[in-house]
Amino acid sequence: MDIGIGLPNTVPGTEGKALIDWAGRAEEAGFSTLGTIGRLVYSGYEELIALAAAAAVTSRIRLTTSVLLAPLYTNTALLAKQAASLDRLSAGRLVLGVALGGRDDDYAASGLSTKGRGRRLEEQLTEMKRVWSGEERGLAGAIGPEPVRSGGPELILGGSTETAFERVARLGDGWIMGGGTPDMFAEAAPGVDAAWRKAGREGTARKLSLAYFALGPGAHAQANAYLLDYYGFLGDFARQVVAGAAVSAEMVKSTVAAFEAGGCDELIFVPTGSGLDQVGLLAEAIA
């Protein structure tokens, strides 16, 4: 199982230099990917912009939106161009993870309704694939640049319903679970595989998950402060999210083992703080 690390793009107070230094250290430490969390109504950096900054100071590590709330990007052709640009500028390292999101305020702030968002996401994915295929749109030809990978960047889709799993099988390359437990992952993963087989897809879907972490002195306080704020809209359930955060090297190791046993292909540890020591502490914990 690959082990990635999230950028602290949604951690309040993270300065640009810290984000860039974090990216460089993550690549040096050997993590498989840099992930980003998507949310509009919160203090944080937009995902594609954050990953573009990371791309400029790295050369190997994958760049994964985990996940970008695609329906909020209403100009689908422009989103396709932005994704292809990041993919081309990073020499094909973009993994575009997309989902619907679970916060009404993100949609309200965008002047959008949450109704029909699943249908809109499918329309977006279909349109982006057409753009990435080089379909001509005007006198100048196609919307460029051409992605490095034929057909466009790798597409990873979120969601926990049967409909979401079917969407993965029809339109995606894989599936991501956003911050659940290893048991939740192990329970959901067979549904993804079943939908994949039913759709007649070859091989298997790549399956990813997120897990939160905080390490070193003050780990509990750091995880509590960030996660209770970020997930405050969930009420008491936010404390369950906090309880699942890995706040020691032993918890990191057990989290890795549990997700690997559940069939996870890549686990991305999402930080709850932006101190650069967190990168090294996590690397030591999984060594």
Cβ(85)–Cβ(55) under 8 Å?
no
Question: Which of 210-235 are b and which e, b meaning 16 or more Cβ less than 10 Å from the residue's Cβ?
Answer: bbbbbbbeebeebbbbbbeebbeeee
- Residue 265: C-alpha distances to residues 38, 62, 127, 180, 238 (Å): 21, 14, 28, 15, 26
Cβ(68)–Cβ(122) under 8 Å?
no
Query: Where residue 189 sits, what CATH number does that domain have?
Result: 3.20.20.30
The sign of the dihedral angle between the CA atoms of 62, 11, 155, 245 is: positive
> For residue 87, what are its two tokens?
């993919």
pLDDT for 148-199, tens place per residue? 999 999 999 999 999 999 999 999 999 999 878 999 999 999 999 999 999 9
pLDDT above 90 as % of the chain:
94
Q: Taking the model in full, what pTM does it have?
A: 0.97
Which pLDDT score is estimated for 73? 98
pLDDT for 215-263, tens place per residue? 999 999 999 999 999 998 888 888 888 899 999 999 999 999 999 999 9
Residue 94, class by beta-carbon neighbours within 10 Å (0-12 exposed, 13-18 middle, 19+ buried)? buried
Structural domain boundaries, residue 23? 2-286
Is 16's pLDDT higher than 90? yes
Which pLDDT score is estimated for 240? 86
> For residue 276, what are its two tokens?
């650069």
Distance CA 83, CA 53 (A): 14
Q: Please provide the DSSP assignment of 16-27 as one string.
A: HHHHHHHHHHHH
Which pLDDT score is estimated for 195? 98
Which pLDDT score is estimated for 171? 98
Counting the structural domains of the chain, the total is: 1
